[in-house]
Every structure is written in C-alpha cells, then in structure tokens.
C-alpha cells in the first residue's frame, strides 16, 4: 500500500525581509513529518530572518507559509503554540530557573492559568529529560550550565511542548565538535523517532550533509532544496563560497581551502 505523505510545513514563493528591505525571495520547500532539515548559507543571507518569519516573530513580505495545509497567519497564538515550537539564539530571560522549571515552561500551552502540571505534563517533561540526558542536571539553575548543557535544556523544553514542528536558530553555535554532533544526533532522533519536523539554521554544512534528510541552501538566487546527495550531484555546494577561498569536494562531502 502506498504510504500517505503528510506535508507538515510548506513554503511557497516566500519573500522575507524588513519593511522595504528585501532579504530573500523565491523560497520554496515542503517538509514532511519525521524530517530533519538544515537551512545553510553565507553570513547575512537571511537564515535567521527566514526562521523568525516561519515562527511568526516577524511578518513575511509575500508568499505562503502553511503548517499542516493551513496558513500560518490564520493560527491563533494558542493554536500555534501547539503546532510549532521555536528555539532562538538569545539566552532565555529565565536563566534563574532550574532545568526542570525551564523545561516545564514548554507545557504552558496545555496547563491552566495556575500552570498546574497534570500527569500528562509530567510525563512529557520526564520524556524530554530522558531524551536529552538531563536527569542529573534537573535541579541545577540554568545559569550554572555550560553552553552545550543549556542548548540541550532549550531543545528539551521545545520537545516538552510536544509540537509536530520544531524550529531552531543555530542550535550548535559555541559548541565543540563532539557536542555539535551530539545535539544534531539528538535532533535527528527527535525527528525520526518522534515523527517531528525539525528545521534548523546552521553553518555546519558538512555535518548537515551527513545527518540531515533535507537541506535548504539560501543562495540569494533560487535557493535550492533537496536531499544532501541530490544537492551535491547538482553542484550546489560548489557555488556557496567564492572558489578562490574554499572549494567543495563532492567525493568527501567536505570543503577544502584553495591553495
Ligand atoms: N532587525 C533587523 N532589521 C533590519 N535588517 C535586519 C534585521 N536583522 C537582520 N537584518 C538584516 O537582514 C539580513 C539577513 O540577516 P540574518 O540575520 O537573517 O542573516 P543570517 O543568514 O542568519 O546571518 P548569520 O549567518 O550571520 O547569522 C542582513 O543583511 C541583516 O543585516
């Protein structure tokens, strides 16, 4: 029997920017549940602007963004908080909270006005603590954590929010290689095991090629989108940086300094 493919996030002919300042246009892609996707591109090309636009933190200039076939603009804040969770680069204002308290904030869309946690809320919090190896840290204050630990807590909070779509802005910045891979593998598990659509911006193109199901390359032109091997075959990574500095090696899927 043919598997029914459900699009969880669809972007069609989207233009992004700030008022009259156009940052990106012709952005088109569809993502299914169970997909890990990276947005890559050079500094200032618009990765964070795109992510913030999809998270409804800023207005699109034109085009369509649909979550489960419904326009993003038509979602009420409460309905949106059950469909989409967002992890941004700014450190949370609530760093004085413990790990457990911060992750519990992910349950806000489901709790009453007293924020009383139900057994269902407690279950989601525990699953998130387990998935991101945070049980031993759960009573620590967030300001006492390393960057890598804090990043795990922020993603765990998004997981506790239990939305089908999770957007993350540069989740691996400031991390060493081991912890970059750890975070990306955890995101991959979240996408594949929990059937989430996980979309993140990154400068880790080589890791994204190895770990992601799909990649969107913002290139200021046609913004190619596809599976990493398709993008390699179509020579899209070669065009990402000026070739007098770095060149892409399609055989190894890595960049080399031009000698
Ligand atoms: N609040 C803002 N108002 C106006 N322009 C902005 C604002 N924030 C960013 N920009 C501009 O939008 C463009 C895209 O910025 P953005 O941060 O989205 O790029 P990026 O690809 O995420 O960059 P980086 O890789 O350096 O993080 C840049 O030219 C930037 O100067």
CB atoms within 10 A of CB 32: 15
Query: Which residues have CB under 6 Å of ligand 1?
Result: 18, 21, 23, 41, 43-49
What is the token pair recorded at 200?
């993140």
Indicate the number of domains in the chain: 1
**Strand partners for 22:** 17
Q: What pLDDT, in 10s, does the model give residues 32-68?
A: 999 999 999 999 999 999 999 999 999 999 999 999 9
Is the predicted ipTM greater than 0.90, yes or no?
yes
Confirm whether 126 is domain-assigned.
Answer: yes
| CATH code of the domain in which 13 resides | 3.40.50.300
Q: What is the dihedral of CA 183, 75, 56, 88, to 10 degrees?
A: -20
**Closest to 33 (Cα-Cα) out of 186, 164, 200, 225:** 164
Residue-wise pLDDT for 172-213, tens only, equals: 988 889 989 999 999 999 999 999 999 999 999 999 999 999
The pair of structure tokens assigned to 156 is 């765990």
- Ligand 1 atom with minimal separation from the 52 CA: 18
Q: What global pTM score does this model have?
A: 0.93
Coil, helix or strand at residue 225: strand
Q: Most distant CA pair in the chain: distance in Å?
A: 62
Whether the CA torsion 105, 128, 133, 92 is positive or negative: it is: negative
Does 2 map to a domain? Answer: no
Domain of 231, in residue numbers = 7-257
Q: Whose CA is nearest to atom 3 of ligand 1?
A: 18
């Amino acid at each position: 029997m043919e598997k029914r493919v459900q699009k969880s996030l669809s972007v069609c002919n989207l233009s992004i920017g700030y008022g009259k300042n156009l940052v990106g246009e012709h952005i088109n892609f569809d993502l299914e549940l169970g997909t890990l996707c990276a947005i890559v591109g050079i500094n200032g090309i618009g990765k964070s602007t795109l992510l913030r636009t999809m998270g409804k933190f800023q207005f699109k200039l034109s085009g369509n963004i649909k979550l489960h076939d419904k326009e993003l603009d038509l979602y009420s804040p409460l309905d949106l908080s059950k469909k989409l969770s967002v992890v941004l680069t700014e450190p949370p204002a609530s760093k004085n909270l413990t790990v457990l308290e911060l992750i519990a904030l992910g349950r806000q869309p489901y709790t009453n006005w007293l924020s009383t946690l139900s057994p269902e809320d407690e279950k989601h919090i525990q699953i998130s603590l387990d998935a991101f190896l945070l049980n031993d840290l759960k009573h620590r204050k967030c300001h006492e954590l390393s960057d890598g630990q804090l990043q795990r807590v922020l993603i765990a909070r998004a997981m506790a929010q239990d939305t089908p779509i999770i957007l993350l802005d540069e989740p691996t910045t400031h991390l060493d290689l081991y912890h970059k891979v750890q975070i990306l593998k955890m995101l991959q598990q979240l996408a594949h095991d929990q059937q989430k659509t996980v979309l993140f911006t990154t400068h880790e193109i080589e890791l994204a090629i190895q770990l992601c199901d799909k990649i969107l390359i913002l290139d200021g032109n046609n913004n190619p989108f596809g599976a990493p091997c398709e993008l390699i075959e179509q020579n899209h990574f070669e065009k990402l940086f000026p070739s007098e500095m770095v060149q892409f090696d399609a055989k190894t899927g890595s960049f080399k300094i031009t000698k």
